[in-house]
Homo-oligomer: A and B are copies of this chain.
Amino acid sequence: MQFLSDNAAAVHPAVWDALKAADAPDSPYDGDTLSHALDERFSAVFGRPCTALWVATGTAANCLALATMVPPHGGVVCHEEAHIEVDEGGAPGFYLHGAKLMLAQGEGAKLTPDAIGAVIDPIRDDVHQVQPHAISITQASEYGCSYRPDEIAAIAGVARKRGLGFHVDGARFANAVAFLDCAPGEAVGPADALSFGCIKNGAMSAEAIVFFDPALADVARYRRKRAGHLQSKGRFLAAQLHAMLDGDLWLANARHANDAAREIASACGERLMHPVEANELFVRCTSAERDALRRHGFGFYDWGEDAARFVTAWNTREDDARALARAIADL
| A interface residue numbers (CB < 8 A to B) | 2, 5, 7-11, 16, 20, 23-29, 32, 55-61, 63-64, 71-73, 75, 86-100, 127-131, 199-200, 204-205, 219, 221-233, 235-237
- Determine whether the beta carbon of B233 is less than 8 Å from that of A8: yes
B89 touches A222 (CB 8 A): yes
B98 adjacent to A222 (CB under 8 Å): no
> Is the Cβ of B128 less than 8 Å from the Cβ of A73?
no
Q: Do B28 and A20 have beta carbons less than 8 Å apart?
A: no
Q: Are A16 and B10 in contact (CB under 8 A)?
A: no
- Whether B89 and A130, one on each chain, are in contact in the complex, defined by CB atoms closer than 8 angstroms, is yes
Expressed in whole angstroms, the Cα–Cα distance for A15 and B184 within the complex equals 36
For residue A227, which residues in chain B have a CB less than 8 angstroms away from its CB?
A: 60, 91, 94, 227-228
Q: Which residue of B lies closest to A62 (CB)?
A: B228
Which residues of B have CB within 8 Å of A235?
Answer: 8
B86 touches A129 (CB 8 A): yes
A94 → chain B, closest Cβ, in Å? Answer: 5
A64 contacts across to B, CB distance below 8 A: 228
A122 to chain B, nearest CB (A): 9
A204-B93 in contact (CB<8A): no
Interchain residue pairs with CB less than 8 A apart (10): A56-B229, A63-B228, A72-B97, A72-B226, A91-B226, A93-B97, A93-B130, A97-B97, A205-B237, A228-B229
Cβ contact within 8 Å between A88 and B128:
yes
User: Taking the nearest CB of chain B, how far is it from the CB of A82, in angstroms?
Assistant: 13
Q: In the complex the two chains form, is A27's CB within 8 Å of B8's CB?
A: yes
Take A5-B28, A72-B97, A90-B98 as given contacts and tell me if A60 and B131 are in contact as well, using a CB distance cutoff of 8 Å: no
* Chain B residue at smallest Cβ distance from A61: B228
Residue ID in chain B nearest A24 by CB atoms: B10
In the assembled complex, the CB of A234 is this many whole angstroms from the nearest CB of chain B, namely: 9
| Contacting pair A94 B71 (CB below 8 A) | no
Q: Whole-angstrom distance between the alpha carbons of A26 and B146 in the complex?
A: 29
Residues of B within 8 A of A130 (CB): 89-90, 93
If A56-B231, A61-B228, A72-B226 are given as contacts, then 18 extra A-B residue pairs at C-beta distance below 8 Å, sorted by A number, are A5-B28, A7-B28, A56-B205, A57-B229, A57-B230, A57-B231, A59-B228, A64-B228, A71-B219, A72-B94, A73-B90, A73-B223, A88-B228, A89-B230, A90-B98, A90-B100, A96-B98, A199-B233
Contacts of A100 in B (CB 8 A): 90, 93
The 10 A-B pairs of least Cβ separation, nearest first, read: A93-B98, A60-B228, A89-B225, A59-B228, A8-B28, A127-B225, A7-B232, A90-B130, A97-B97, A73-B222
CA separation between A72 and B64, bound complex, in Å? 13
User: Chain B's nearest CB lies how many Å from the CB of A14?
Assistant: 13
A233→B27 CA distance, assembly (Å): 26
Determine the chain B residues whose CB is within 8 A of the CB of A32 once the complex forms.
8
A72 touches B73 (CB 8 A): no
Q: Which residue of B lies closest to A25 (CB)?
A: B2
Nearest-CB residue, chain B, relative to A2: B25
Tell whether, in the assembled complex, residue B25 and residue A20 are in contact, meaning their CB atoms are under 8 Å apart.
no
**Inter-chain contacts of A86 with B (CB < 8 A):** 129
